[in-house]
Amino acid sequence: MLRCLSRCWHPILLSLIVTLLFSNSVIYANEESEESPQETPPLTLDTDVEVPEAFLRTDDSESVEEVPTMAQTPAPPLEPPPVKHITLMLDWYLSPQHAALVIAKERGLYAAQGLEVEIQSPADPSIAIKLLTAGEVDLALTRQPLLHLHVHNGAPITRIATLIETSLTAVIVTGEEQAETENTLAGLHYGYTTGEGRDLSIPRLLPRSVQQTDDFNPPINLHFDPIRAMREGQIDAVADGFYHYLPQQLATEGINTHVIRFDELDIPRNDGLVVLANSDTLARRADTWSRFVLALEQASHWIIDNPDAAWKLLISAHPVLENDINANAWEDILRRMALSPAALDSRRYAGFETFLNKMGLTDATLPVSRLAVDPHAL
């Protein structure tokens, strides 16, 4: 019987175990499905999408300002650089030899370089360099020989441009031209207007032996008035007169004269008219001087290309220059005008230093760089 119960119990026990396992699986699956969120179905073109209200714009919402693609108002124009004011002191009364300075101003060439140049005439020929060394003017004119002499005396001046490339002065002697001898020249009474006449030409005309005689009549300083001195018979000759003007001016006074050029006195060739700047401020103002000299160069070229128009513009700007003496001198002035004012002939300046030293006027020779520069190379 026991064997019969055993055979009946086994199937029932197996069914009970299976039933229990199935029930636990269903319970576990239900619990898992309750804890896990439902999977989101994939989006399609037909899927309805809800947009949160925070992202929706209403009629009362502020509109977003559009960013302009370009500036709505033009930028203010750039202010031009300030114009530099320059004062320039002439060496003498205004004359055609100063044409480049005047034409550069009248044609707006200074203004194009950002410069305003005021041209002044000196009360005395010696005052221009004094004012320059004192800082009272920015630029001054002189002759190359005077530059050398003043620098040797300690003046802080430097040549930055050449206006006239050959000497414009000579010895102007009363009377008809004749074969001059050392004796006839030594017997004349001389006057001078600058140190060029006093220190250079007169020593070549008056031997030291003559100057040491008891009846020697020493040369006199004529300042700006050689005509009056000759008219009144105070002198027989001007040691450094402008040969383009003085003989013609004296002729109107009924005084005949003749000219002895400096090369006849073995004075080396030199620049007849140069522009000076103060050496102490040369480097700091190099750009200004470079632009100034560029305007001069442009003016010189225009004058040479248009001599008649240049003359008309010159006398239009300064009617006092309109006379026969200046008109007759104009053509010769043009031949001597520097077309490259900045260009420096170093050999000419070095040679003049040697000449002065041999004459005993200087104790040593200075380097050219102490005397003259090309402002474009600073």
Residue 125 lies in a domain: yes
User: Are 367 and 300 within one domain?
Assistant: yes
Check residue 330 and give its pLDDT: 98
Residue 44 lies in a domain: no
User: Are 299 and 220 within one domain?
Assistant: no
User: Are 216 and 333 within one domain?
Assistant: no
Cβ atoms of 184 and 201 closer than 8 Å: no
User: Are 246 and 280 within one domain?
Assistant: no
Cβ atoms of 323 and 95 closer than 8 Å: no
Check residue 278 and give its pLDDT: 98
What CATH number does residue 258 fall under? Answer: 3.40.190.10
Q: Map tokens 């750009």 to a residue.
A: 287
Residue 350 lies in a domain: yes
For residue 332, CA distances in Å to 96, 132, 154, 298 come to 10, 30, 35, 20
Check residue 34 and give its pLDDT: 46
Check residue 24 and give its pLDDT: 52
**Among the three residues 265, 289, 310, which one is the final residue of a domain in this structure?**
265
Check residue 177 and give its pLDDT: 83
User: Are 128 and 173 within one domain?
Assistant: no
| pLDDT per position as a tens digit, 94-141 | 999 999 999 999 999 999 999 999 999 998 888 999 999 999 999 999
User: Are 279 and 362 within one domain?
Assistant: yes
Q: What are phi and psi of 119, to 5 degrees?
A: -95, 125
User: Are 276 and 369 within one domain?
Assistant: yes
Beta bridge partners, 122, equal none
Which amino acid is residue 69, in one-letter code? T
User: Are 256 and 290 within one domain?
Assistant: no
**Among the three residues 265, 295, 316, which one is the final residue of a domain in this structure?**
265
Domain total of the chain:
2
Cβ atoms of 90 and 120 closer than 8 Å: yes
Check residue 70 and give its pLDDT: 58
What does pTM read for this prediction? 0.78
What are the residues whose beta carbons fall under 8 Å from the beta carbon of 331, sequence distance 6 or more? Answer: 307
- Among candidates 211, 208, 202, 207, which has minimal Cα distance to 183? 207
User: Are 246 and 303 within one domain?
Assistant: no
Interstrand relation of 115-120 and 139-142 (parallel, antiparallel or unpaired): unpaired
* Residues of the chain scoring pLDDT < 70: 1-73, 78-81
Residue 37 lies in a domain: no
SS (H, E, C) 118-151: EEECCCCCCHHHHHHHCCCCCEEEECHHHHHHHH
Range of the domain at 259: 169-265
**Among the three residues 202, 236, 265, which one is the final residue of a domain in this structure?**
265
Cβ atoms of 159 and 144 closer than 8 Å: yes
Residue 193 lies in a domain: yes
- Quickly list H helices, 43-139: 99-106, 109-112, 127-133
Residue 64 lies in a domain: no
